[in-house]
Amino acid sequence: MSVTYLEAIREAQARLLREDERVFIYGQDIAGKFGGAFKATKGLAEQFPGRVLNTPISEDAMVGTAIGAAMEGMRPIVEMQFADFSSIALNQILNNAGTHYYRTSVPVPITVRLPSGGTKGSGPFHSQSMEGLYSHYPGLVVVTPATVEDAYTMLIDAVQIDDPVVYCEHKYLYYHLKAEALPDDKLPIGKARIVRPGRDLSIVTYSAMVHEALGVANELSPDGWEVEVVDLRSVKPLDTDTVLASVARTGKLLCVGEAFPWGGVTAEVVARVASEGFHLLDAAPARVNAKDTPIPYHPNLWSEHRPNKSSIAAKARQILAE
Amino acid sequence: MLETAERGASSSTKAPPHERYLEAFRWMLTARVLEEKLASLYRGGMIVGGVYLGRGQEAISAACGMFLDKSKGDLFAPLIRDQAGRSAFGEPLLDVVRTYLGSAKGPMRGRDGNIHRGRPREGQLAMISHLGAMISVLVGRLMAKRMRGEKGFVGLTTIGEGGMQTGATHEGMNIAAVEQVPLVVVATNNHYAYSTPNDREFACAALVDRAKAYGYEGATVDGTDLAACLDVIGGAVKRARAGRPPQLVVAEILRLAGHGEHDDASYVAPEIKKESFAQDALQRAEKLILDEGLLGREGLQQMRAQIAAEVDAAVATAQQEDAPHASEEDWSALSTRELADQFA
């Protein structure tokens, strides 16, 4: 018996619907036998009548509706078909959900699920990683689970949090990642995890890039390099303490993210380490991100556009040599 | 005075009882007197940011607030020119002046100002500036109430002909019809989106025609005619409450002020000021009150004086209150404090 990352998301939603009558799911093509573009809600509409609802292609109104329902005490989950389309809902997420508690003292507990990140052939509009953009604005919690276990427990936590949560689930991990079973315990949102201890270099990353970083760590190991890999898990709040503690052990930082290179999560991590842990560093902190172009369609281009084992390993070797 | 769109339900032509005229007039006058005071405070440099007036829009706005009933669970999502409706819905004068003056005791505590105020838990939503954004939020609240098994409630939201052209308005109006929530959308065409006249705003023959397109029942009304406004809005609210499809009411007026008090509205074409919809709704309502014998001139003056005293008292109270202090602000946009990110 094994559970995929996608099944963990479905099981988390099934459990939420079963245990919390305030929960409903709102999104495109998620109801009926169809169960969503990626099947993250398959079977749930039949199991929970009236609580898994199809919407028109209206991302702005989907989120607006969820915000209103949340004000009334519900715990809506909005499924974006692809993270990319949440740009249509930016106004509702950033300006309505993100400001509401600060302005009125009334929190807006919505969870917006963003099927994020690149897969072969998906091109410019079905591949984006938007966690940096959402993290830039106040009033939102932004999580980026990299494991089956986190996909499950962080979605349950996201819905239980009284504030808006942007839940970035990576499409590449949907089927590629499997666990033995659903987890019994969890690490809370806001805590990073050391997924591989090391002494020579800290690779700080999140979401699918955790697995690329682990591959790089394994590749460098025979050469005598012990690379520590830190999975941020949530990018906002960002667990600066765990990152600084890691850099204190290794003296070197490489931050890896799949999003575009200007600003974003990796820049934030480097900025924090440089300003709060400058004395810990034995080399200039570095970043590997996607390239500063739209995400290309052809696999030959796409695989070089995003960070990959070879580009991460090259940068890691460069820092290690310093 | 009343047309219904093709799919519109027939509206009652029975005039509302006279006591509602007087009640409505009181809310209209409250809005006018309060807003004159706000404009004066603004000109005196006592209000930062902006002041946005509903001058000319008082009749349609008052009607919007008057047919909503908090005890029935009704919800109101007003916009920037809805002082009359906000007051009729139950917004205290102190909420208004505290928000404009930035008092820490106001509902927004100095964190937001002017017309962005609301009390969401008490049914009055706090608008954001992005037009059309509140429609779907109201839809969500109505859906949630229905999911919880509540009955007999309605939601009413207002928009202008400018806001009618946004994508959010389209999505919100459509999703309301898909969800069949008890919603009334009142669109007031005041003929200018800030400085832009109707011919650069939309090209359809009549905005109410969109009612049919969205699956709403539609009606139009002369927004300067209080009796007509009460009749048409009352009818739309009643139909929504009775389970009819969402309702669209389009009112015609002229904005008798600038976009805000910073704006002298010199762009308003002289010829449009001669149109019937350019009449002052408050003056017309005053004539109605006199013609119907509901109050004499002396009674009207007494009412104005009483309202002015209430407004002055509210302003005096708010002016004595503490402004928010940055040193006492906890600077957290999250209610879950332990999840607030920490910046060194």
A94 lies within 8 A of chain B by CB = no
Nearest Cβ partner for A56 among B145, B175, B332: B175
- Which domains are seen in chain A, by residue range? 3-179 (3.40.50.970), 193-321 (3.40.50.920)
**Confidence (pLDDT) at B344:** 85
pLDDT digits (tens, 9 = 90+) for B156-205: 999 999 999 999 999 999 999 999 999 999 999 999 999 999 999 999 99
Chain centroid to CA B123: 14
Query: Among B3-7, B116-120, B279-283, which is the least confidently predicted range?
Result: B3-7
Question: Which of A95, A100, A189 lies closest to B339 in CB terms?
Answer: A189
Who contacts A26 (Cβ-Cβ below 8 Å, separation ≥6)? A53, A55, A62, A65, A66, A76, A77, A78, A79
Q: Round to whole Å and give the CA distance between A75 and A64.
A: 13
CB within 8 A of A52, min separation 6: which ones? A17, A24, A25, A30, A31, A41, A44, A45
* Residue B11: predicted pLDDT: 45
Count of C-beta atoms within a 10 Å radius of residue B283: 10
The residue behind tokens 């389009």 is B250
- What residues of A are in contact with residue B145 (Cβ under 8 Å)? 72
Partners of residue A100 in chain B, C-beta under 8 Å: 120, 126
Distance from CA of A275 to the nearest CA of B (A): 8
Average pLDDT over residues B2-20: 51
Selected for mutation to probe chain A from B75, B334, B342 (highest A CB count within 10 Å) is B334
Q: Beta A52-54 vs A201-205: how paired, if at all?
A: unpaired
Where does residue B4 rank: exposed (0-12), middle (13-18), buried (19+ CB within 10 A)?
middle
Percent of chain A with pLDDT over 90: 98
pLDDT for the residue numbered B14: 52
Q: Spot the catalytic one: A100, A126, A170, A211.
A: A126
Tokens coding A1: 């018996």
In the predicted model, is pLDDT for residue B315 greater than 80?
yes
The reported pLDDT for the residue numbered B133 is 98
Which residues 201-260 of A have a C-beta within 8 angstroms of B? 236-238, 240
Query: Which tokens hold the place of B338?
Result: 């332990």
Work out the average pLDDT over B283-294: 96
Question: How near does any CA of chain B get to the CA of A162, in Å?
Answer: 7
Q: Give me the residues of A, 39-68, that contact B with CB < 8 A.
A: 50, 55-56, 58-68
Q: How far is CA B104 from CA B98, B112, B203, B311, B336, in A?
A: 8, 11, 45, 19, 22
B193 strand-pairing partners: B196
Could you report the per-residue pLDDT of B37-69, keeping only the tens digit for each? 999 999 999 999 999 999 999 999 999 999 999
pLDDT greater than 50 at residue B117:
yes
Percent pLDDT > 70 in chain A is: 100
Q: Is residue A1 very low, low, confident or very high in pLDDT (cuts 50, 70, 90)?
A: confident
ipTM value greater than 0.95: yes
Ranking A29-33, A140-144, A283-287, B11-15 by mean pLDDT, the lowest is B11-15
Query: Over 90: is that where the pLDDT of B2 sits?
Result: no
Name the band, by pLDDT with cuts 50, 70 and 90, for residue B17.
Answer: low
Residues 292-321 on A with a CB inside 8 Å of B are none
Q: Which of A312, A301, A133, A125 lies closest to A211 in space, CA to CA?
A: A312
Chain B from 133 to 172: CB within 8 A of any A CB: 133-145, 147-148, 167-168, 171-172
pLDDT surpasses 80 at B13: no
Interchain proximity A64–B140, CB inside 8 Å: yes
Residue of B117, B141, B174, B183 to mutate for A, most A C-beta atoms under 10 A: B141
Look at B9 and B220; give whichever has higher pLDDT: B220
Q: What is the pLDDT of residue B5?
A: 42
B126 touches chain A (CB under 8 A): yes
List beta partners, residue A256. Answer: A288
- pLDDT tens for A85-103 read 999 999 999 999 999 999 9
What is the distance in angstroms between the Cα of B331 and the nearest Cα belonging to chain A? 9
Q: What is the model's pLDDT at position A299?
A: 97
Q: Is A126 a catalytic residue?
A: yes
Closest CA to A116 of A141, A81, A154, A147: A81
Compute the nearest-CA separation of A158 from chain B (Å).
11
* Amino acid in position A292: D
Confidence of residue B18 (pLDDT cuts 50, 70, 90): confident
The one-letter code for the residue type at B197 is P
Residue of A nearest to B334 (CA): A139
pLDDT in tens, B174-187: 999 999 999 999 99
Q: What is the CATH number of domain B3-339?
A: 3.40.50.970
- Put simply, the chain A residues between 6 and 35 with a CB less than 8 A from any chain B CB are 24
DSSP assignment, residue A82? Answer: S
Q: State whether residue B174 sits within 8 Å of chain A by CB.
A: yes
Tell me the pLDDT tens digit for each residue of A113-170. 999 999 999 999 999 999 999 999 999 999 999 999 999 999 999 999 999 999 999 9
User: Are A102 and B111 inside 8 Å of each other by CB?
Assistant: yes
| d(CA A274, nearest CA chain B) in Å | 12
N- to C-terminal Cα separation, chain A:
46
A139: chain B residues, CB-CB within 8 Å: 333-334
